[in-house]
Amino acid sequence: MSKEIHDLIIIGAGPSALTAAIYTAREDIETVLYEKAVVGGMAAITDKIDNYPGFPDGIDGFELTDRMQKQAEKFGTKIEVGEVTALRDENGIKILIVDNKEIRAKAVLISTGSDYNKIGVPGEVEYYGRGVHYCATCDGAFYRGKEIAVIGGGNSAVQEAIYLTRFAKHIHLLVRSTVKASDVLQKELQQMINEGKIMVHAGTTTDEIVATDNKVSSVKVTKDGKTNLIEINGVFIFAGLKPNTQFLVGSGIELDEIGFVKTDCNLQTNFPGVYCSGDVRSGSTMQVASAVGEGATAALNIREYLSNL
């Protein structure tokens, strides 16, 4: 077991983590990132990010996060492939288990992001970013004047379907059983139905997302035992979010009722020296721009924490 103690370990390598690393490494804080999957996180596999400041024509998600990675590494950030499975504090030193090895640090930033719950149908994973979406705010504007499907019947699905009427010509709301949104949202939904903007398909299962020329063109659905195709240009799935915090269960780090990490106004968890930023943080807005801002804020607070040790 190595007795080396790193200044800062960042768990995750999405936009928030990479931004924090740019700030800390630039100030000669030794910074190591551990990422178990793709550097850039979910942003890296997004076909186009259209609402990030400074890019009026939008930017490919991989290109944006690749630029962030290069900038972080230019200042000395070390990015390692590795899965963190546990975190604990021993007399102020943070002990992380990474690929079954103990790694030590003076400070830790949790920036593992979150993942969208999948519905598990053919075409969902294959056409992500090419007609399959999980964020109306991020991608709704791509569908001005077009026909889309929204899958889900809870508050988030109904709320996002109503939001998407700003762009889409018509929306098919596909609900497995019945709409279970709040009364207020159901009243707003009824208004959209009356105006012909949304059609609710209750008791409908989504069986497959179908593509033509590598772009989503329809959804195969079943209702009352009958299967048919609904022609659409895009699909938005709202089955909830799952924070990537499984490794924190039992660690003592406070999580909210869904599993997102709780922090104070300085983005510090209940463990001194352990911070959290980005989509995994309780109260996050789930936007790349805000994740970047939180990464910078966390870095500045970490710098102050380390200087006071």
Catalytic residue among 7, 139, 276, 279: 139
Is 139 considered catalytic here? yes
φ, ψ dihedrals at 156, nearest 5°: -65, -40
Contact (Cβ atoms closer than 8 angstroms) between residue 270 and residue 262:
yes
Alpha-carbon gap, residue 290 to 279, rounded angstroms: 9
Q: Which two tokens stand for residue 154?
A: 């809870």
Alpha-carbon gap, residue 178 to 207, rounded angstroms: 17
The amino acid sitting at 89 is: D
Alpha-carbon gap, residue 46 to 31, rounded angstroms: 26
Catalytic residue among 138, 256, 276, 279: 138
Q: Is 112 helix (H, G, I), strand (E, B) or coil?
A: coil
The amino acid sitting at 234 is: G
Alpha-carbon gap, residue 243 to 259, rounded angstroms: 6
Nearest residue to 110 (alpha-carbon basis) of 25, 14, 28? 14
Cβ-based neighbour number of residue 260 at 10 Å: 21
Q: Is 244 helix (H, G, I), strand (E, B) or coil?
A: coil
Is 265 considered catalytic here? no
Catalytic residue among 50, 115, 135, 207: 135
Contact (Cβ atoms closer than 8 angstroms) between residue 41 and residue 66:
no
DSSP 55: -
Residue that has been written with the tokens 């970013």 in this structure? 129
Give the number of residues written for the chain.
309
The amino acid sitting at 5 is: I
| b/e burial code for range 3-16 (CB count within 10 A of at least 16 → b) | eeebbbbbbbbbbb
The catalytic residue positions are 135, 138-139
